[in-house]
Chains A and B, each alone.
Chain A
Amino acid sequence: MDITIQYTFLPHTDAEASLAFYRDVLGFELRKDVGYDGMRWLTLGAPGQDAAVVLTPPTADPGITEEEGRTIAEMMAKGTYASIVLATTDVDGVFEQVQASGAEVAQEPIDQPYGVRDCAFRDPSGNMVRIQQPS
């Protein structure tokens, strides 16, 4: 079998703020920007890598009830809903740059006991974005 990861999904609550974070701060390419009924789907990827993150309105699926939608919104706000782990060869340099942009710092770079050095930020929607440098 020959299977790779193509798209992964993260919820967003503010398309413009997310675009500013993922494209302008992290340096991802905007590959697709789809709007429908007041909602927006943004497909972004790292230059040179096919796999992409699709930033998605969290309650676009009509099967999500109002109560579930409220729970999702609350979990996103309190920071327990979604996360992604990115990789870099220079976590300290990346941290300085991202912090300088005014992004919400969740963790300064540290050596984890499980063998990576990583840092973490919150994206504008409250998702946990960890950035690691494999040793």
Chain B
Amino acid sequence: MRSGVAAERGSGDRLGIDPRGWHDRRVPGPNDDAQRLRDLALLRRVRDRIDREYAQPLDVEALARGVNLSAGHLSREFKRAYGESVYSYLMTRRIERAMALLRRGDLTVTEVCFEVGCSSLGTFSTRFTELVGVPPSVYRNEPDGVFEAVPSVLAKRVARPVRNREATPARRR
């Protein structure tokens, strides 16, 4: 199912009815490009909303409703555009925030889990361990030791919440 905008446009649009049947794709034209850019802008709003509201009990249905897309269409297009699913992106944001909170050291793992919008400690710990390389309890006690333990691909992600780390002047290797 396409977005509401597409459906509306299609109803009065001769391109909306394709006499050649479902298996004959029509040649993409400028209208398709414009539609694609509008869809991408909606995906951007969803992604920004996750960045803003990840600590709320968000789910894919609610996110899709917010931009008048079907959940299926949103899931497919989001993954195509950003390379990961809506749910995965949401969880990654939660884990990133959790890392920052755990580094502060004044909250327990359970408190951090709820603080970042996860309702299940089990799911939180599993996903945290997958992304960071160590369980949240270990990370909380020794956040800096983790950098040597994670693969380099993840190290960037691990370090990401600390933006000013990138700007350390005169850093030599």
A residues with CB within 8 A of B: 70, 73-74, 77-79, 104-108, 112-115, 122, 126
Contact = CB atoms under 8 A, between A and B. Distances in A.
Given A74-B40, A112-B163, 18 more contacts: A74-B36, A74-B37, A74-B81, A77-B36, A77-B37, A78-B44, A78-B81, A79-B48, A104-B48, A105-B52, A106-B48, A106-B51, A106-B52, A107-B51, A113-B161, A114-B164, A122-B48, A126-B41
Contact of B33 (A70, A78, A105): A70
Contacts, number: 50
Interface in B30-66: 33, 36-38, 40-41, 43-45, 47-48, 51-52
A12 to B, nearest CB: 14
Tell me what chain A mostly uses at the interface: helix, strand, loop, or mixed: mixed
A113 B52 contact: no
A107 B36 contact: no
B166 to A, nearest CB: 10
A51 B104 CA distance: 37
A73 B30 CA distance: 13
A114 B37 contact: no
Contacts of B71: none
A30 B38 CA distance: 28
Interface in B155-169: 161-165
B48 A113 contact: no
A29 to B, nearest CB: 28
Contacts of B36: 74, 77
A79 B162 CA distance: 22
A122 B38 CA distance: 15
B52 A126 contact: no
Contact of B45 (A104, A114, A115): A104
B73 interface: no
B100 interface: yes
Nearest to B97: A113
Contacts of B51: 106-107
Contacts of A77: 36-38, 40-41, 44
B103 interface: yes
B53 to A, nearest CB: 9
9 contacts: A74-B37, A77-B37, A78-B43, A79-B44, A104-B45, A105-B52, A107-B51, A108-B52, A115-B164
A134 B121 CA distance: 35
Nearest to B53: A108
